[in-house]
């Protein structure tokens, strides 16, 4: 018994020594310091994204192999936490208001994507993934549809690269455009949910504009993500693949559960503001990690015609959604 205990102590001691003896690089120190900086209230989501991009280009990401999984998990956790700041009735009203615009914009974007693919004469599967990412919910839609159309890793990476670059631009451009046109909180939330690709960027953009915009944008965007299912079925027919495994974002259900708890459980409403603050910090950190993933390799693999297609799709859907939002108020 004594020998076993002694062996256990030596094993623990050896593990601790290995950890302490490991050389920590300057790159790791800088990265960890920036992670803590992004948790500070003074750092906004767009600033965090910019810090991430600069880190990727200047310092380099010391844990790049873990970045995608970490950012995805943190994003999903943060979105669920945002549900604790929303009420079911407000969410239903926002969902109803955005339903027609969502349906029209998704159909229009996919049709325009086919037209541009033929005009620009670019690779079919990559073009389709860019169209789906623009139409529905960015990287999540691309990841879900890629196995259905049997897209390769390079095709998926290029599509994600296009969407990511445009997402980054949206974080800086959209709030200024919203203020220029005098959009209300509700209108901006609706517009950003339709026109910005990824859920993370939608939430980041809307959070900068205001709490009501955040509530509307998050609800409409997550409802929009459910379109992955019918689009996946359509994709399997178009590409004659016989279907494939579709990955539906499970955190949407948890987000709805969080809203229900916040709406109908008094005890939860007392702690909801704290959960909401933590979730906002988590989102800011998520955008920093996403920025860290924008390496020179990611940018370099995006071809000119594919990027042009992504830009045209994004501009058209953004202008159409803005016109629809402004028109309903006249």
Q: How many domains does the chain have?
A: 1
Contact 77, 92 (CB under 8 A): no
pLDDT confidence band for 323 (50 / 70 / 90) = very high
d(CA 206, CA 192): 7
DSSP 266-327: HHHHHHHHHHHHHHHHHHHHHHHHHHHT--HHHHHTS-HHHHHHHHHHHHHHHHHHHHHHHH
How far apart CA 328 and CA 101 sit, in angstroms, is 11
Q: pLDDT of 121-132, one tens digit each?
A: 888 888 899 999
> Is residue 199 a part of any domain in this protein?
yes
pLDDT, position 41: 82
Spatial distance between the Cα atoms of 210 and 217, rounded to a whole number of angstroms: 11
pLDDT at position 175 is 92
Q: Which pLDDT does position 16 carry in this prediction?
A: 44
Q: For residue range 250-268, list pLDDT tens digits in order.
A: 777 787 888 888 888 888 8
Report if residue 268 sits inside a domain: yes
205 in a structural domain: yes
In-domain check, residue 37: no
Q: How confident is the model at residue 59 (pLDDT cuts 50, 70, 90)?
A: confident
Residue where the block lists tokens 């259900």: 253
The residue segments making up the domain with residue 318 are 85-327
> Is the full-model pTM beyond 0.75?
no
Each residue's pLDDT tens digit, 132-147? 989 988 877 887 788 7
Per the domain annotation, does 143 fall within a domain?
yes
**pLDDT-based confidence at residue 161 (cuts at 50, 70, 90):** confident
Q: Tell how far CA 220 is from the center of its chain.
A: 14
Residue 303 lies in a domain: yes
User: Is position 90 within any domain?
Assistant: yes
104: in domain: yes
């Amino acid at each position: 018994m004594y020998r076993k205990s002694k062996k256990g102590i030596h094993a623990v001691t050896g593990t601790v020594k290995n950890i302490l003896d490991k050389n920590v690089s300057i790159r790791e120190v800088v990265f960890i310091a920036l992670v803590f900086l992004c948790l500070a209230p003074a750092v906004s989501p767009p600033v965090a994204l910019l810090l991430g991009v600069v880190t990727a280009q200047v310092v380099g990401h010391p844990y790049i192999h873990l970045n995608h999984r970490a950012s995805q998990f943190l994003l999903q956790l943060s979105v669920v936490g945002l549900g604790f700041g929303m009420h079911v009735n407000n969410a239903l009203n926002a969902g109803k208001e955005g339903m027609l615009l969502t349906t029209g914009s998704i159909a229009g974007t996919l049709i325009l994507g086919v037209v541009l693919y033929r005009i620009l004469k670019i690779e079919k599967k990559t073009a389709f993934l860019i169209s789906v990412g623009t139409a529905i919910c960015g990287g999540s839609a691309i990841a879900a549809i890629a196995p259905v159309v049997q897209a390769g890793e390079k095709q998926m990476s290029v599509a994600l690269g296009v969407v990511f670059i445009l997402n980054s631009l949206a974080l800086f451009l959209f709030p200024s455009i919203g203020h220029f046109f005098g959009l209300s909180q509700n209108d901006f939330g609706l517009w950003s949910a339709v026109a910005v690709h990824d859920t993370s960027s939608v939430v980041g953009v809307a959070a900068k504009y205001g709490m009501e915009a955040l509530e509307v944008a998050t609800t409409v965007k997550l409802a929009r993500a459910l379109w992955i299912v019918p689009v996946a079925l359509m994709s399997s027919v178009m590409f004659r693949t016989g279907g494939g495994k579709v990955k539906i974002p499970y955190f949407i259900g948890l987000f709805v559960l969080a809203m229900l708890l916040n709406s109908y459980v008094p005890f939860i409403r007392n702690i909801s503001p704290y959960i909401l603050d933590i979730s906002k910090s988590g989102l800011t950190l998520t955008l920093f990690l996403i920025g860290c993933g924008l390496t020179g390799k990611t940018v370099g693999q995006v071809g000119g015609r594919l990027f042009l297609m992504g830009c045209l799709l994004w501009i058209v859907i953004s202008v159409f959604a803005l016109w629809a939002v402004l028109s309903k108020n006249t």
